[in-house]
Structure 1
Amino acid sequence: MAQSSALKDQYNLLGKQLDALLEGEHDTIANLSNASALLNQFLDEVNWTGFYLWKNDELILGPFQGNPACVHIAYGKGVCGTAVKDRETKRVADVHAFPGHIACDAASNSEIVVPLFKDGEVFGVLDIDSPLKERFTEEDQQGIEAFAQILEKHL
């Protein structure tokens, strides 16, 4: 219980840091770049932290931290495309068991994808990969979704 409360407090602090970091900046690429860097610095045991942006009916690679990645992801394909189609977070304990998983990095074993919205429309997704199976907990999901909601205010 104490660990859960401590993790929640850490995510709350992270959200405040993000809000302060993006305050007054209106360039989307700059904000997404700083958000991915901040989140990558905060999270341990992750190997990719970044964004895919919804353009021309597909997800296109945006700012990220990590190894080179897939550039195009179709609607409904892989974890990212499925998160867009379902308009909800996808927390996957073992990506190799996810139907249609797109392996951009063979080292990734678990993933969380949070769709981002602007004016009620899909803007893109926040995608985080880990080399560990079952890396992302319910508490992580809540914290990352809260992070995404703060980010959406700055899009």
Structure 2
Amino acid sequence: MFTKSAYSEDVTANYNMLSKQLDALLTGETNAIANFSNASALLNQFFDQINWVGFYLMEDGELVLGPFQGLPACVRIPLSRGVCGAAATKQETVIVPDVHAYPGHIACDAASQSEIVVPITKDGKLVGVLDIDSPIKDRFSEQDAEGLEQFIEVLVKHI
């Protein structure tokens, strides 16, 4: 494992390193919950200026809280609600610079100001979403979206 001091100023290189670390961490483990748990812990270690990171997993047509790091969260999210529901329904990454300006935002943590949600698909089927919240506005960029999509591609190999 490496520490934040091992990261460079190159965001793409950092995400490449993060994805390699995830792959090494999960290799040989077949339990999906264990792998989601370690993935959320790794992301929590990687990011600064976030207050929640975790997964919502598809179950019976809705998103259900999975492994995460942060304060207690909403347990069930219908696909018709919030940023997580939008990303799951569209099956595309959604970046919200200001959650208070997002129609239908679900406020699980009052400190959250911005959010990024990345859908997780395997074999063409929606598995869930990765959700990351920040206590500052405009925290997430297109580079974050690309890097997190790469991270999810690695994760999907292990679930």
**TM tier, smaller:** over 0.9
Deviations 1:49-84 (A, max 9, x none): 000000001000000000000000001210000111
Match for 2:50 among 38, 46, 52? 46
The one of 133, 136, 147 aligned to 2:137: 133
Letter paired with 2:155: L
Q: Which runs of 4+ in 1 moved over 3 A?
A: none
Q: What is the CA–CA distance in structure 1 between the aligned matches of 2:27 and 2:70, rounded to whole Å?
A: 25
| Structure 2 residue aligned with 1:76 | 80
Q: Deviations over 1:73-112 (max 9, x none)?
A: 0012100001111111001100111110000000000000
Find the aligned partners of 1:36 and 1:96 in 2 and give their Cα distance: 25
Mapping for residues 21-60 of structure 1, pairs under 5 Å? 21-60=25-64
Report how far residue 5 of structure 1 moved. 6.7
Letter in 2 for 1:114: V
Q: CA RMSD in A?
A: 1.1
SS in 2 for 1:129: strand
Taking only the aligned residue pairs, the percentage that are identical comes to 63
The yes-or-no answer on 1:92 pairing with 2:100 is no
Residue aligning to 2:111: 107
> What CA distance in whole angstroms lies between the structure 2 residues aligned with 1:74 and 1:66?
21
What is the one-letter code of the residue matched to 1:74?
Answer: P
Q: Which ranges in structure 1 are unaligned for 5 or more consecutive residues?
A: none
Q: Is 1:8 aligned to 2:12, yes or no? A: yes
TM-score normalised by L of structure 1: 0.96
The amino acid that maps onto 2:133 is D
Separation in 2 of the partners of 1:17 and 1:80?
26
One-letter amino acid of the structure 1 residue matched with residue 88 of structure 2: V
Match of 1:118 in 2: 122
Please, which runs of 5 or more residues in structure 2 have no aligned partner?
A: 1-7
